[in-house]
Every structure is written in C-alpha cells, then in structure tokens.
Structure 1
C-alpha cells in the first residue's frame, strides 16, 4: 500500500504538467497580444491569431517530443505549417512550408505608392527570432502571380527572394524568375538596428509608358531602370 501511495504522489506533478492549460502557459511564453481563445494544453491545443485589420487565423500545435512542437496555421490567405523549438536563445522555427497571401503582409513600408498582390510560397529551413537581435532566416520565398496595384497596375511575373543569415546580419537577394511587365533585382539587408533596401526595376522594352509610371517609385537611371533605396532604424 505504501508503494502505491508513493507512486500516486509522484504521478500528481506529471498529470499536472500533461494537462496544464495552454491559456496559463502562453502568457509566460510571451506569445503576443494577438493570440486569443487559447484552448487545450501546452502539448496539444489551438488558438486564434487576430491580426488587426485582417481575418483571424486558426493556429494548432502538438508536441513532437523533446523541445519540438509541430504547428499549423490556416485561414483566409494563409496555409502554413512547420516546427517550433523551445530554447534560451530565442524562438526557432524549422521547416516552415506553405503559402500566404500578400494581402496579409504589411509591405506599405517598402512600396508606399503601390499595393503588392499575389501569393508568397515559403520554404524556410530555419528562422531564429530573438529579442534585441535581427532575425536569422535561411531559405527561400517565391512571390507568385506577383503584381502591383495603385500608381502602377502591372504584372511582375514571379519574384524569388533567397534568404541567408550571417554574423553581420540578415540578407535577402531579390530577382525576377518569371517574366513580367516589370523586372526586379536587388537586395535587402537587416542589421541589429537598421534596414537597407536597394532594388532595381526595369519596364519591358516595348512598354515605354510603363517606364514613366514606375519612375514614381524611386530614382530613374540613365539606362531606363528605376532604383528604389530605403533605409531606417529597426526595433526588435
């Protein structure tokens, strides 16, 4: 009887951990103010991500053993999945795959005079996000059905962004991989406290009127290209 009693006492903390409500744990993990309706346990549960101005996204997670959780995000314009690993160095996301609509991304900072449209296909090998540090992301983004609406209303074809991280910061190389009315190339660099954007746009040779339109997006060059340069401070 005494052994059974001790086993029961030892089982109590295990049961508490296994059934620990996710709503209790999430605030301590700094999951963010946009996460609502948290249900289930730390090991398997779901919640609703409410991004201001957008349709909510359903988020599900399940423990995969060790320090790894698998997650899935579904909603209007969002179909993403991947793995999350807990660690003292920050939030680590691994094998992130899926698509997200450009409508869900706030890119007004980069193109103030035009609204990007289309879908982004993600293939991220690893992303490390830590406080007071620039993100470290390795992988690729493909902007499919890429187009602009606003001052310029044209197709961009397909644009591929290759992401690589290093000691100096985060680098993103941008290039057109499928023909459109406008070709794009350049790079975006993120450091600890600053960002730098250097993009080059070129209208198709048989569209001289388009070359005049994209001139509003940046600085026209003698060879017909338009250079878009932006830089500023960041706060992680």
Structure 2
C-alpha cells in the first residue's frame, strides 16, 4: 500500500503545482497559445498574468485602438468562457466595460462606455478646413462580434459641446444618437438635437466596416434668422423650407 500512497501524494502535488502555475500563468504565454481564439482582436506588448494583464497595443479588425488593461473572472473559465473587465485607452478613445470570449469563438461586450473627440469624425467626413468641436460619449449596452459580423448590438451616444469652427464658427446644443445592429452586419441608428437650441436635426445613419452613410433634415427652430441663413449655404433646400444633408465616407480609422 505504501507505493500507492506515494503515487497518490505525487498526483496531488502535481495537481497543486499545475493549479499554482495556471493561477500565475503569464499573460504573454496565454496570448502566445490562445491569441487565435480572440477573433478580430490582436494584442501586442503583453505583460502581467492571464487574470490581471496589460497590452501596450490592441487592434480591432486591423485598426489600432490604444492600450488595454484587463481583470478576468476565474470562475467563468469553468463554463468555457473568458470574461474580463477591460479598459482601453488611446490617443482618440477611452472605453471601459465587460468583454466575454465565448466557446464558439465570438466576442461580446456589455455596458462598454466610451468617449472620443468629435474631431475624430473629420477624417471620414468631407468638412474641408472646418474642425469639429466637442466630445462624443455614450455606451454600447451590448454587442457581439463573430469574425467580421456584428450582431445583437445596441446603445446610445451624446455629442456635447457640439460645433464647427473654421472659416466661420457655429455652436449647437447636444446631439443625441441611438443605434443598433442591422441584419446585414452593419450598425444603423438615428440622430436628433436635444430640443434646447434653434437648430432642428432629424436624421439617420448606417455604419459598415468599410464605409458609412447618413442623411439629415435640418431646419430653424423659433424662426431663428442666423440658423436659417446658415442653412442656405449647406445641403439641399427642400420645398417645405428645410434643408437635406447627405454624407458618405470611410469608416473612422483610429490613429
């Protein structure tokens, strides 16, 4: 019986050693062997452990976003999922929320709050010498990525300090947007003003992985003469006195 006891003890010690090693598993080792399971996400400059780590660079679908910090939930691995609270910080974006890698290889985000300068849109919109003012912030309540397809997404955003400056300057009240994934894998939504200013905005948009399209109907509230004059120089005047604006551009490219 003595040899059996020794073998049992060795087996227990081996399991303990394996558990300790897994508990302290370096993030670089985990990414080296498990990076292929991250789908559209690529990490570089990885440090820390599997559970509490940092990446100097994170790219999504080939676009650099910034740095990444994560804190993973150990219990979720028993269900075959990797769940972590993440913080992404870059020159043009600040985002934080929960991210899950599922058994089927898909990635999901939950309650992902974000903030980007409105000027980030200028590289995609044809605004000439103008500069977009303010900050766009919001929350992606949920979203699911499988290869390059987006589904089950919804959220909202607010453009605060909205305005345009350049040859001339115009300031607006906050702009509000709501969005959700579409059957073709794109993201579609609506945009409107918050009702506190004299510029009325009522529009829709659609964002894909390569390009986006949008259209909006603009008009002056309270018969504001300054807004009415501004609208004479943009878009396409409509018979009812409103102005229709149509935009098309490439999807935002993070620096």
Q: What's the counterpart of residue 154 of structure 1?
A: 170
Using the TM superposition, give the Cα deviation of residue 94 of structure 1 relative to its aligned residue in structure 2, in angstroms.
Answer: 0.2
CA distance in 2, matches of 1:41, 1:60: 11
SS of the equivalent of 1:189 reads: strand
**TM-score for both structures, normalised by structure 1:** 0.77
C-alpha deviation, 1:198, in angstroms: 1.7
- The CA RMSD over aligned residues, in Å, is 3.3
Tell me the alpha carbon deviations over residues 51-81 of structure 1, each in whole angstroms, 9 at most, x when there is no partner.
8xxxx85421111241311112346665432
Q: Could you say if the C-alpha distance between residues 160 and 90 of structure 1 is closer, same or farther in structure 2, counting changes exceeding 3 Å? A: same
Instruction: Kindly indicate whether residue 128 of structure 2 is the aligned counterpart of residue 109 of structure 1.
Output: no
Give the conservation status (yes or no) of the 8 Å contact 1:133–1:192. Answer: no
Q: Is 2:96–2:114's contact at 8 Å kept on the other side of the alignment?
A: yes
CA distance in 2, matches of 1:116, 1:211: 17
Rounded to whole Å, the distance in 1 between the matches of 2:151 and 2:219 is 30
- Looking at structure 2, the residues matched to 4 and 36 of structure 1 have their Cα atoms a distance apart, in angstroms, of 40
Q: Conserved in 1, the CA contact under 8 Å of 2:211 and 2:249?
A: yes
In structure 2, distance between residues paired with 1:191 and 1:76:
23
Pick closer, same or farther for the CA change 1:43–1:165 going to 2, 3 Å.
Answer: same
Q: What per-residue deviation string (whole Å, max 9, x for no partner) do you get for residues 99-121 of structure 1?
A: 33324x34532343343221122
CA distance 1:14–1:109, shift in 2 (3 Å):
same
Q: Which has the larger radius of gyration?
A: 2
The offset of 1:140, in angstroms, is 0.9
Alpha-carbon distance between aligned partners in 2 of 1:177 and 1:209, rounded to the nearest angstrom: 21
Unaligned runs of 5+ in 2: 1-5, 60-64
- Deviation of 1:6 (Å): 0.5
Identify if the C-alpha distance between structure 1 residues 147 and 130 changes in structure 2 by more than 3 Å, giving closer, same or farther: farther
Aligned pairs (5 A) from 1:1-236: 1-26=6-31, 27-28=35-36, 29=38, 32=41, 35-49=43-57, 57-64=66-73, 65-66=75-76, 67=81, 68-74=83-89, 78-87=93-102, 88=104, 90-103=106-119, 105-113=120-128, 114-134=130-150, 136-150=152-166, 153-167=169-183, 169=185, 170-180=187-197, 182-190=199-207, 195-203=212-220, 205-207=224-226, 208-213=228-233, 215=234, 218-231=235-248
